[in-house]
């Protein structure tokens, strides 16, 4: 009963819709391939990831790689999750928490949340809960697009949920 009440409150606060109902697969060593997902007017994205070595999720102001705001590396060097600012010399946030690492044999849910110049990457489907890693920036930049690339291993992912404040 309490769970249902909590869920109803969530419905009133957020508008959510299914982005895609298919598994998207990127080959190994892919770059941002021109597929930019519009996330304007959103502040969160839930994604299910399955990969042996990880991938990179880029968040951009515009539909080009030169407008990078944040990059989130999953399973970097095999054991790390890293959030970078737009320039690799910017501060970064690093975690070795295994809950924040995708697995090779099953899809695991993760969320991205960006607001107030802060990027958060967390484990699970409830934004703001569970293990998470975050990076705040001093330079204001609006996230409007998201794209994905891989390391030395293919990556399967499902963009499950888009959320925005009403």
- State the 10-residue block means of pLDDT for the chain, 166 residues long: 40 34 62 79 92 88 88 89 78 91 93 93 94 87 89 81 50
Q: Say whether 28 sits in a helix, a strand or coil.
A: coil
Give me the CATH number covering residue 139: 2.60.120.200
**Number of domains forming the structure of the chain:** 1
Distance between CA atoms of 166 and 159, rounded to whole angstroms? 21
In this prediction the pTM is 0.79
Which domain does 13 fall in, by range?
2-165
Distance between CA atoms of 37 and 161, rounded to whole angstroms? 12
Q: Are strands 68-76 and 14-18 parallel, antiparallel or unpaired?
A: unpaired
pLDDT of residue 15: 30
- Nearest to residue 55, comparing CAs of 63, 67, 47? 47
């Amino acid at each position: 009963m309490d769970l249902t009440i909590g869920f109803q409150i969530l419905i009133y606060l957020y508008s959510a819709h299914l982005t895609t109902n298919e598994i998207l697969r990127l080959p190994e060593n892919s770059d941002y391939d021109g597929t930019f997902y519009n996330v304007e007017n959103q502040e969160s994205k839930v994604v299910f990831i399955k990969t042996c070595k990880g991938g990179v999720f880029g968040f951009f102001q515009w539909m080009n790689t030169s407008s990078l705001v944040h990059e989130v590396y999953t399973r970097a060097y095999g054991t790390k999750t890293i959030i970078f600012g737009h320039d690799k010399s910017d501060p970064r946030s690093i975690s070795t928490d295994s809950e924040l690492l995708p697995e090779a044999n099953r899809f695991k849910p993760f969320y991205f949340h960006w607001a107030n110049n802060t990027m958060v990457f967390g484990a699970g489907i409830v934004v703001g809960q569970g293990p998470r890693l975050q990076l705040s920036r001093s330079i204001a930049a609006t996230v409007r697009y998201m794209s994905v690339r891989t390391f030395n291993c293919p990556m399967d992912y499902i963009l499950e949920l888009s959320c925005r404040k009403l």
